[in-house]
C-alpha cells in the first residue's frame, strides 16, 4: 500500500477524550465558534474531564480528533427550563456535575469542517444515548442553537420558525439534525447564549427521553423484560369426570412450568369433552349443565397456578347465572388472585345453538410479567378491541380460540397477526385439535397455535416468534422481549400507535348503561 493511499484511508475510532487531545479540539472549536467565544481553555477541558470523564466523547481519525461531544450529569430540578448555558455548565468548569443527578446534559457537539457529511454527529449522538441508558438517566437535555433563524427573524417568531423546520419547510443546520435524531423541542428559551447573533440569542430546549429509565431499581421483583409463554394445543378426548379433565390440565401446566414459563394458555372451551355426559339433552340445556363445573375448575386452576408458579389463562368456559349464559376466560395468577374476561362478540352459531350472550366490558390485566389482554376467539376479529387494550399499555394479547374448519381458523389467525402489527404487541393464540363424537356443535377441531410479534427489524423476519404443527397435540414454549416493544413504539420503522391521527378519529369504549 502506498503512503498516499494510507493517508487517504480513514481509521475512525470512538473513545473518551484525553487532555492530550486539547490542541485538536481547540482547532475545531476556533474554526466553528470564532464568533461565539472560540474554544475552551486547556484548564476548562481538564476540569470537564475530571468532573465526568465518561461524558466527554470524541471520534479520532488516524489519531487526530475530528469530532467531539461534551456532557455532564445534573439534577435538572435545580435548574429548571429557564437556565442559561453558563448557569448549567458552571461557566465551563462543570462543577455543576452531579453523580446522583437524573439528566444527561449535552453542552457541545462539534465536527471538523472537512468531515461534514460523514454523519459523525449522529455517531456522537448515538453514543450519548447509549451512555444515558447505561447510567439509567431519565433523559438527555440540551440547549440548541437555531443559526438559520437570522434569515427569518424579521418575518416570523422563533416558534413559527421551529414549526416550519419540524415540517421540513425550512432547513436549519442544527435543529434539523437534532430533530432527525429523535429529540423534541420542549420550549423556546431566550438569552441562552447572548453572543449567538445567528440565533438572535434564542435557543431550543431539546429533550430525548430514555425509554428504558427505571426510577426505582430493585434487587428482586423488577418488571420482567424477557417473558416466557407456554401455549397448550389441546386434544379433545373423552373424559369421564372433572378429575380426569384436570389430570390432563395438570400434565400440561406441569410441562410448561418445568420450562419456567410465566404464562400457560389453554384453548377456548377446553372443558367441552364433559358435554358428553349430557349428550341426551338439547344443546342449549347441555351447555348450561356444563357451566355447573366452572367454579370447581377455576378453583383447581388457581391451585395449579400457585403450586406450579405460573400464571394460567384458563382458556374459556361457560358461565350461567340463571338468566344469562356467557363465555368467560379466567386469569389465575400465581399470586393466588383471579380475574376474568367475558367474550364480547357471539358468533351466529353460538347464539342459535346455545343462546350465548356477550359481555359488556374489557380491560388490561396487570401481572408480574407485564400487562396482558384476553380476547376470546371471535373477539380478535374486531380491531377496535385490540386498540382499546393497546391504549391501556398492553404488552401481550392472549387469544384462546375454538375453530372447526381451516377457513374459520384462518380468520382468527390472520386477525391475530394484524393485531400484533397495528398495536405493537405480542399475540399468543391456541386452540384445540381432534374430535368429539356425539357432542353436538363441538364435533371437529382445527388449530395451529402460534406467537406473533410486530413486523420490524428487532423481531423475527416473518413476525412469527413460534408456531406449532397443525392439528397435533403439543405445546409451544417461547420467550418474548418486552423491551423490544418499548423500542418499537418509540423508534420503529413505523410507529402505528404514536402516529395515529387522533385529530381525525378515536376508538372509545362506551360505558354500559
Give yes or no: 268 in active site. Answer: yes
Three-state SS for 193?
coil
* Residue of 8, 25, 11 lying closest to 70 (CA atoms): 25
Helix boundaries (H) for 192-258:
242-258
Cα 44 to Cα 30: distance, rounded to the nearest angstrom: 15
Q: Say if CB 309 and CB 259 are below 8 A apart.
A: no
Counting Cβ atoms within 10 Å, is residue 240 exposed (0-12), middle (13-18) or buried (19+)? Answer: exposed
Quick one: which H or E segment has residue 299?
helix 294-308
Backbone angles phi, psi at 199, to 5 degrees: -90, 0
Q: Say if CB 507 and CB 387 are below 8 A apart.
A: yes
Catalytic residue among 60, 207, 319, 343: 343
Q: Which residues of 469-486 are buried (b: 16+ CB within 10 A; e: fewer)?
A: eebebbbbbbebbbebbe
Backbone angles phi, psi at 246, to 5 degrees: -70, -25
Q: Say if CB 451 and CB 426 are below 8 A apart.
A: yes
Q: Say if CB 67 and CB 58 are below 8 A apart.
A: yes
CB atoms under 10 Å from CB of 213, counted, come to: 14
Give yes or no: 50 in active site. Answer: no
Q: Say if CB 419 and CB 383 are below 8 A apart.
A: yes
Catalytic residue among 132, 207, 264, 268: 268
Cα 454 to Cα 483: distance, rounded to the nearest angstrom: 13
Give yes or no: 332 in active site. Answer: no
Q: Say if CB 473 and CB 233 are below 8 A apart.
A: yes
219: DSSP letter: S
Measured in residues, the chain has a length of 513
CB atoms under 10 Å from CB of 326, counted, come to: 21
Quick one: cell of 304?
395449579
Q: Which residues contact 485 (CB under 8 A, 6 or more apart)?
A: 395, 424, 425, 426, 454
Catalytic residue among 132, 264, 332, 377: 377
Cα 191 to Cα 143: distance, rounded to the nearest angstrom: 11
DSSP string of 74-113, one letter each residue: E-GGGT-TT--HHHHHTTTT-TT--TT-SEEEEEEEEE-G
Q: Say if CB 262 and CB 291 are below 8 A apart.
A: no
- What residues are annotated to the active site? 268, 343, 377
Amino acid at each position: 500500500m502506498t503512503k498516499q493511499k494510507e493517508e487517504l484511508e480513514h481509521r475512525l475510532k470512538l473513545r473518551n477524550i484525553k487532555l492530550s487531545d486539547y490542541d485538536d479540539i481547540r482547532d475545531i472549536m476556533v474554526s466553528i465558534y470564532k464568533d461565539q467565544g472560540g474554544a475552551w481553555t486547556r484548564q476548562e477541558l481538564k476540569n470537564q474531564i475530571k468532573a465526568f470523564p465518561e461524558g466527554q466523547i470524541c471520534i479520532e481519525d488516524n489519531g487526530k480528533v475530528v469530532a467531539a461531544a461534551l456532557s455532564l450529569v445534573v439534577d435538572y430540578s435545580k435548574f429548571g427550563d429557564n437556565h442559561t448555558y453558563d448557569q448549567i455548565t458552571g461557566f465551563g468548569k462543570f462543577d455543576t456535575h452531579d453523580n446522583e443527578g437524573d439528566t444527561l446534559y449535552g453542552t457541545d457537539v462539534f465536527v471538523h469542517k472537512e468531515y461534514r457529511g460523514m454523519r459523525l454527529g449522529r455517531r456522537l449522538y448515538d453514543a450519548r444515548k447509549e451512555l444515558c441508558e447505561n447510567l439509567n438517566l431519565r433523559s438527555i437535555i440540551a440547549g440548541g442553537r437555531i443559526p438559520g433563524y437570522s434569515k427569518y427573524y424579521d418575518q416570523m417568531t422563533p416558534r413559527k420558525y421551529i414549526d416550519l423546520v419540524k415540517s421540513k419547510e425550512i432547513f436549519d443546520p442544527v435543529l434539523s439534525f437534532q430533530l432527525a435524531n429523535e429529540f423534541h423541542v420542549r420550549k423556546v428559551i431566550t438569552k441562552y447564549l447572548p453572543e449567538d447573533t445567528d440565533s438572535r440569542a434564542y435557543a431550543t430546549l431539546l429533550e430525548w427521553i430514555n425509554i428504558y429509565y427505571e426510577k426505582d431499581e430493585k434487587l428482586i421483583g423488577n418488571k420482567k423484560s424477557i417473558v416466557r409463554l407456554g401455549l397448550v394445543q389441546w386434544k379433545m378426548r373423552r373424559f369421564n369426570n372433572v378429575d380426569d379433565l384436570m389430570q390432563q390440565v395438570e400434565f400440561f401446566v406441569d410441562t410448561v412450568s418445568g420450562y419456567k414459563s410465566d404464562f400457560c394458555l389453554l384453548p377456548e372451551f377446553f372443558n367441552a369433552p364433559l358435554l358428553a355426559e349430557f349428550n341426551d339433552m338439547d344443546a342449549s340445556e347441555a351447555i348450561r349443565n356444563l357451566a355447573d363445573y366452572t367454579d370447581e375448575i377455576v378453583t383447581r386452576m388457581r391451585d395449579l397456578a400457585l403450586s406450579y408458579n405460573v400464571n394460567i389463562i384458563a382458556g374459556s368456559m361457560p358461565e350461567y347465572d340463571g338468566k344469562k349464559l356467557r363465555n368467560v376466560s379466567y386469569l389465575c395468577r400465581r399470586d393466588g388472585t383471579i380475574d376474568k374476561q367475558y367474550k364480547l362478540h357471539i358468533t351466529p352459531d353460538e347464539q342459535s345453538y346455545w343462546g350465548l350472550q356477550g359481555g359488556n366490558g374489557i380491560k388490561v390485566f396487570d401481572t408480574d410479567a407485564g400487562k396482558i389482554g384476553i380476547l376470546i376467539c371471535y373477539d380478535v376479529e374486531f380491531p377496535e378491541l385490540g386498540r382499546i387494550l393497546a391504549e391501556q399499555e398492553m404488552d401481550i394479547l392472549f387469544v384462546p380460540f375454538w375453530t372447526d374448519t381451516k377457513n374459520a381458523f384462518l380468520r382468527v389467525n390472520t386477525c391475530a397477526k394484524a393485531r400484533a402489527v397495528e398495536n405493537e404487541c405480542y399475540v399468543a393464540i391456541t386452540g384445540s385439535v381432534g374430535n368429539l363424537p356425539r357432542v353436538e356443535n363441538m364435533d371437529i377441531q382445527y388449530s395451529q397455535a402460534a406467537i406473533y410479534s410486530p413486523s420490524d427489524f428487532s423481531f423475527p423476519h416473518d413476525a412469527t416468534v413460534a408456531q406449532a404443527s397443525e392439528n397435533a397435540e403439543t405445546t409451544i414454549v417461547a420467550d418474548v422481549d418486552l423491551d423490544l416493544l418499548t423500542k418499537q413504539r418509540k423508534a420503529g420503522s413505523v410507529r402505528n400507535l404514536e402516529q395515529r391521527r387522533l385529530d381525525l378519529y378515536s376508538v372509545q369504549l362506551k360505558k354500559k348503561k
